[in-house]
Structure 1
Amino acid sequence: MRAHLAESVGGRVHFAGEATSAQAPATTTGALLSGRRAAREILETAREGQSVTVVGAGFAGLACARKLVKAGLRVTVLEARERVGGRAWTTWVDGMPAELGASWIHGHKGNKMTKVLRRSGGRALPFDYDNAAGRDRAALRELGRLTKDMDDRPDADTAPISSVLPPAPSPALRSAANMVYAQEYGAEPHQLSITADEEGVGGRGGDLLLPDGYDRLVEQVRDGLPVRTGAVVTGVGYDAAGTAVRLRDGEEVHGDHCVVTLPLGVLKSGSVTFTPELPEEKRAAVDTLGAGLLDKLWLWFPEVFWAAGADVIEWSDPEDPGLWSYWVNGYKAFGRPVLLGFNGGDQAHRVAGLTDEQTVDSAMSALRRMHA
């Protein structure tokens, strides 16, 4: 499905973005590599001076555009937001990078994003997932026993992970499954095929936090590239002569090629139409691949009241397993009395429907019970 999503159409419209990456989906590395791959596709046939319209200024769009510009092509980058970076989105608070989007470089050894980090001059902070306070190791061992041989099933590509779990799991097992799957993929075990757990992250070894912010890496890849922000794309037309990208204000941007780096969720929404309609295999890939939800909440406190030396704080709510179950210790990472809470999958969808005040109240209720 990812290969179908990545295929170009008519030799004119090309697709990039983390969802097109079979090597590292759902990561900034996958986005970066997909953008470079789309640029190579164009450069196989393009002539110097030809024009390319790139839709989206995340890592995929910026990496693609930068490679094409260096090769002598004329590139226009369109971004619907008023900022660049896509789902890498850094907000600075009290001298600390509060990442609203991507937080980690996953698998830093042999990872192209690690090279970008080094070129940017940013620092790398190794993150130890095993240095966890409150972890229910017995429940995780039970989950490990249940899922041990599931990769050997002949239907592993289509069978959900939930098929190897009991129909009525205990609260402890539900919490462990939330930790391993919902917190990792933003989706529940019944939404994930067994082989979904085998997709890569772009490198080997441990993960890194970026104490100098992901925005430093965005600017490193951008390298001064001009971007038209606030340019909302509503349609992409293509034929043998070239492409025409339609904007919400009625303007059309013409080019010899177009690179679409829209997130999978935007493609699913149908808010951008393609003329002519995309091929059936492409539409099937858009329909079949899923997009999970992982929500983050940053909380600042007057002082540290939790395990100051832990990288991770875990908790299982006995009444609602999986809710506010995973916290990153900002004091260990950034030297600030900050906690970063995560919700994934069904719990994330629930919390997303709350107001800001209700969200904070819910999180504080969990923290009080965790540290009572």
Structure 2
Amino acid sequence: MLKPAPAHAFNLEGDGKGKHIIILGAGLAGMTCAYELNKLGYQCTILEARHRTGGRCWSIRNGATNQEIDKPAVIAKFDDGLYFNAGPSRIPHHHELTLHYCKELGVPIQVYNNVNEGAYYFAEGKGPLSNKKIRVREIHNDIRGYMTEMLAKSIDHGGLDSAMTKEDGEKIIAYLQAEGGLDIDKLYKASARRGYTESPGAGDRPGKIAEPHKLADILHSGLMDPDFYNVAEYTYELQMTMFQAVGGMDQIARALEKKVAPSVKMGAEVTSINNLAEGVKITYKDATGVHELSGDMCICTLPLPVLSNVNNNFSGDVSRAIDYISYIQTGKIGLQFKRRFWEEDEHIYGGITHTNNDLTQIFYPSYDYLGKKGILIGYYNFNEKAQKIGALGYADREKFALEKGRLIHPQYDKEFEGSFSVSWHKTKYNLGGWAVYSTETRKTQYPVLLKPDKHVYFAGEHLTYLNAWMAGAFESARSTVAALHARVTEGRASYPAVK
């Protein structure tokens, strides 16, 4: 007889009618705050410096524009219907709140193929396997085989310190034989697990399996380095099944924007945030000049590198936390090709090729399989590599992506049509990819921003343990709305907006 509650329903009690909340930033966190506050009867105003919503939740398609701090504005020129996600591109299956909002907002999702054994490892260097593209499945199965062979031999010869019965040892060896594909003599030999050099087929076509790569060759070529092996299948957030929004991740932002559109002021760059004795005063500038806006409270979702350049009267502890918390340097480039050669020629459908050079990763699209054209993410890099490539001009970034990419896919030269690159640490109104905490800043600075500074609350992925994920924005927004609403329902006075 009980009414079933949807997963992650946000049923707060009380009414916020008459309260004016100013929200800084129309990314996922800011719009989610407004969406939930509107349900409770609050008046919300969202100030967004850009002329689009979504913040880092941004899909690049034809006509998209970007402004980096040391470069002219650039416009994407892709075919209609093609896109790549410059920001988040994946939704883990255990990010329940993100999936909840997709469902509540009517955003359809589809499987995102994050782990693909048919993609490549490519190591530049001087090893026997260097400068060759090698299928992920070959390296995975060869390393797994050699490691289990060594462990099985060790158990056979009593080489493990842990006491175990003969029966226990036999069970473990049986497991290792199955896990590593060992033969009856507990030796690793190549099997169909690592793929075929000639595929099996009809008639007299049993298929041909190549010999495994030698362990020494794998080691000396760097293919057991963290660049390759410590990747998706071991990272909790990247384990399958993963999802994506049909038509681009910006569909999530667009669905939120429809819910809060009357509250959003575009092209409104915040220049100062001031706590008053009663309420807050925000100063912003737009195409018509400088304006002041007063409200009862403020929720600030601006990325901290941006917020650090906004005038304010925050406490010393809050100002220190804003300055001390770092953001990652990261960048992506989308490359449009006239033919989906990775599918047609190499049977790669989604997934990631990993390299040890400055490309770091090549992402293959997990949508529109067998279509005519497509966009690869030609590099997705971080830290020093992203800083190095981000310092290049747009044309030189494209040149770099093609130069290194053709070492893996020689089809680049014939099939390439155009590109668009984004360096998040250079992008105006972002100045970084996502928050990165050290043990010290997580302990000392993070807790400071979890609490309001008088009438100003802070929200965003940077105020969660889900940094870099859309779930961080959603979780933080809900936490902030709950805290603000609890404060309001204790009986605080209301202060009307002044424009």
Question: Shared fold (TM-score greater than 0.5)?
Answer: yes
Alignment of 1:208-357 (within 5 A): 208-225=243-260, 226=262, 227-248=264-285, 249-267=289-307, 270-275=308-313, 277-280=314-317, 282-306=318-342, 307-316=346-355, 321-330=356-365, 334=369, 335=371, 336-341=373-378, 342-357=380-395
**1:217 partner SS:** helix
CA deviation after TM superposition for structure 1 residue 231, in Å = 0.4
Query: Which of 47, 51, 64 pairs up with 2:33?
Result: 64
Alpha-carbon displacement from aligned partner over 1:60-112 (angstroms, at most 9, x marks no partner)? 1101011111111111111000111111112334313332222222x223521
CA deviation after TM superposition for structure 1 residue 245, in Å = 0.4
**1:354 partner SS:** coil
Distance 1:369 1:47, change over 3 A: closer
What one-letter code is carried by the residue in structure 2 that aligns with 1:77? Answer: I
Give the conservation status (yes or no) of the 8 Å contact 2:112–2:366: no
What CA distance in whole angstroms lies between the structure 1 residues aligned with 2:352 and 2:357? 13
What is the aligned partner in structure 2 of residue 99 from structure 1? 85
What one-letter code is carried by the residue in structure 2 that aligns with 1:212? Answer: G
What is the aligned partner in structure 1 of residue 222 from structure 2? 172
What CA distance in whole angstroms lies between the structure 1 residues aligned with 2:244 and 2:405? 23
What CA distance in whole angstroms lies between the structure 2 residues aligned with 1:56 and 1:238? 18
**2:406 partner SS:** helix
Give the conservation status (yes or no) of the 8 Å contact 2:82–2:375: no
What are structure 1's unaligned runs of at least 5 residues?
Answer: 1-32, 146-168, 184-196
Distance 1:48 1:360, change over 3 A: same
CA deviation after TM superposition for structure 1 residue 302, in Å = 2.2
What are structure 2's unaligned runs of at least 5 residues?
Answer: 1-7, 62-78, 122-135, 148-218, 411-499
CA deviation after TM superposition for structure 1 residue 360, in Å = 1.1
Distance 1:129 1:329, change over 3 A: same
What CA distance in whole angstroms lies between the structure 2 residues aligned with 1:179 and 1:287? 34
Give the conservation status (yes or no) of the 8 Å contact 2:107–2:252: no
What is the aligned partner in structure 1 of residue 413 from structure 2? none
CA deviation after TM superposition for structure 1 residue 141, in Å = 6.8
What is the aligned partner in structure 1 of residue 99 from structure 2? 114
Alpha-carbon displacement from aligned partner over 1:219-266 (angstroms, at most 9, x marks no partner)? 322333221000000110013300000113431100000110001221
Distance 1:178 1:244, change over 3 A: farther
RMSD across aligned C-alpha pairs, in angstroms?
3.6
What CA distance in whole angstroms lies between the structure 1 residues aligned with 2:276 and 2:360? 50
Distance 1:305 1:331, change over 3 A: farther
What is the aligned partner in structure 2 of residue 87 from structure 1? 56
The TM-score normalised by the length of structure 1 is: 0.66
**1:366 partner SS:** helix
Give the conservation status (yes or no) of the 8 Å contact 2:107–2:245: no
Give the conservation status (yes or no) of the 8 Å contact 2:349–2:366: no
Moved beyond 4 Å, runs of 4+? 178-181, 331-334
CA deviation after TM superposition for structure 1 residue 284, in Å = 3.7
What one-letter code is carried by the residue in structure 2 that aligns with 1:300? Answer: Q
Alpha-carbon displacement from aligned partner over 1:101-146 (angstroms, at most 9, x marks no partner)? 22222x22352111222342423123232434223647x979xx9x
Give the conservation status (yes or no) of the 8 Å contact 2:16–2:40: no
What CA distance in whole angstroms lies between the structure 2 residues aligned with 1:212 and 1:298? 16
CA deviation after TM superposition for structure 1 residue 356, in Å = 1.5
What CA distance in whole angstroms lies between the structure 1 residues aligned with 2:305 and 2:220? 33
What one-letter code is carried by the residue in structure 2 that aligns with 1:122? Answer: P
What is the aligned partner in structure 2 of residue 207 from structure 1? 242
**1:69 partner SS:** helix
Percent identity, please. Answer: 24
What one-letter code is carried by the residue in structure 1 that aligns with 2:249? Answer: Y
What is the aligned partner in structure 1 of residue 180 from structure 2? none
Number of residues of Structure 1 aligned to a counterpart in Structure 2: 285
Alpha-carbon displacement from aligned partner over 1:257-288 (angstroms, at most 9, x marks no partner)? 01100012213xx321212x3341x3343233
